[in-house]
Amino acid sequence: MSSTALDAPAPVGFAERIWRINWGLALVLTAIAGVGVLALYSAAGGRFEPWASRHAVRYGAAFILMLTVALIHPKVWLAMAWPIYIVSLALLVAVDLIGKIGMGAQRWLVIGPMQIQPSEIAKVAVILVLARYYHGLRKEQASQFLYTLPPLLVILAPVALVMVQPDLGTAMMVLMAGGALLFVAGVRLWMFLVAAAGAVASLPIAWSFMHEYQRKRVLTFLDPDRDPLGAGYHITQSKIAIGSGGLFGKGFLKGTQSSLNFLPEKQTDFIFTTFVEEWGMVGAFVLLALFALVLVWGFSIAFRSQHHFGRLLALGVTAMMFLYVFINSAMVMGLLPVVGVPLPLVSNGGTAMVSVMFACGLLIGVNVYRDAQLPRTR
């Protein structure tokens, strides 16, 4: 028998795979989704319909999906990375051609009774392909400029398609999550500095291509009081709601900004505001602490992985979760322009929840198969 065969880890049995599932992480995700049910119940004026009940059912189905994904060997996701990415690009093209228009944007595909947002799928697809690509490179190759060109195309293709919709927030998330994965994969810092300098230099050109409402959002971010009843209305009402919550909040079902409909999109983009108005700074801290636990577990899983694919996959998913939470919470507090990024597992939305739970399944799967041996393929 060869020494390679002797050194190979024994196959992980089903009982051992179940034991290796990070049930603590699963419990934290369930707690976050529970906060979402409470917030959506309150946003509907103390009714489970139309948002809270659907949110709970979606989470139940997505939880089963997460566990199923976690138990699938990572070699399957290594093989499926490119097909998933290609399908996500095809769906983005379909959105641009025949997508449903809503709130001034064309972001959804209607398939029978379902309405899906392919840009949410693209976030996970990009992470999968980049993890596969860098898994197949040697360390010295990952830091070379020529080997950085293919992953740049992988990132920029969905970014361009999402920008056409237009969806600036999702496009920026795909760009930043991809950039974060390139950084941890070993891309040299000078390449990021050159890219940043190029981005700053192209700002005047980007400004000319932005839609009028996007320009208003940027100007409102710089000066929220310039149009308090127009472009600045959303963020003004959000700040009032958060500030009025104080330390301990107004109490469950006692929020006024949301119940009196002063707060727009209270069930999606501004669900964090709805929650903080009723539960105050203490409630906000608890919710953000739950998200912080998810991030800590994500880093822990990444560092324990014995294969590069799993390490990069875990770090990519963790970076995606961080960006979701950071952008949404900073957006509703006026620290970033309003760009339409949901709060994962709390905001109402089926595609976002399924995508996040699928990604969390990949993350947990890295822990389940942390000592697996994977071939080097691109």
* Range name among 125-139, 183-197, 320-334 with the lowest pLDDT average: 183-197
* Range name among 55-64, 67-76, 216-225 with the lowest pLDDT average: 216-225
The encoded tokens of residue 151 equal 């992953």
Q: Is 108 strand, coil or helix?
A: strand
Phi/psi region, residue 345 (left: phi>0; alpha: psi -120 to 50; beta: rest), is: left
pLDDT higher than threshold 70 for residue 197: yes
Best mean pLDDT range from 24-33, 45-54, 346-355, 364-373: 24-33
Q: What is the DSSP string of 129-188?
A: HHHHHHHTS-HHHHTSSGGGHHHHHHHHHHHHHHHHTT-HHHHHHHHHHHHHHHHHHT--
pLDDT at residue number 127: 95
What's the CA gap between 244 and 247, in Å, rounded? Answer: 9
DSSP state of 122: H
Residue of 268, 252, 284 whose CA lies nearest to 343:
268
pLDDT higher than threshold 60 for residue 3: no
Residue 270 CB neighbour total at 10 angstroms: 29
The encoded tokens of residue 337 equal 């322009």
Q: Are the C-beta atoms of residues 328 and 349 closer than 8 Å to each other?
A: no
Q: What's the Cα-to-Cα distance from 235 to each of 85, 160, 218, 257, 270, rounded to whole Å? A: 35, 27, 12, 12, 9
Q: Are the C-beta atoms of residues 215 and 166 closer than 8 Å to each other?
A: no
What's the CA gap between 329 and 278, in Å, rounded? Answer: 16
Q: Are the C-beta atoms of residues 44 and 36 closer than 8 Å to each other?
A: no
* Range name among 286-295, 310-319, 347-356, 357-366 with the lowest pLDDT average: 347-356
pLDDT higher than threshold 90 for residue 268: no
Which whole number is the average pLDDT over 313-333?
A: 93
Q: Look at strands 114-116 and 100-102 and give their pairing.
A: unpaired
What's the CA gap between 91 and 120, in Å, rounded? Answer: 11
Q: Phi first, then psi: what are they for 140, rounded to 5°?
A: -70, -30
Element (H, E) at 269: none
What's the CA gap between 134 and 312, in Å, rounded? Answer: 8
Q: For 236-260, how does the pLDDT look when each residue is reduced to its tens digit (9 = 90+)?
A: 788 888 888 888 888 888 877 766 6
pLDDT higher than threshold 50 for residue 54: yes
Q: Are the C-beta atoms of residues 371 and 354 closer than 8 Å to each other?
A: no
Best mean pLDDT range from 159-168, 250-259, 319-328: 319-328
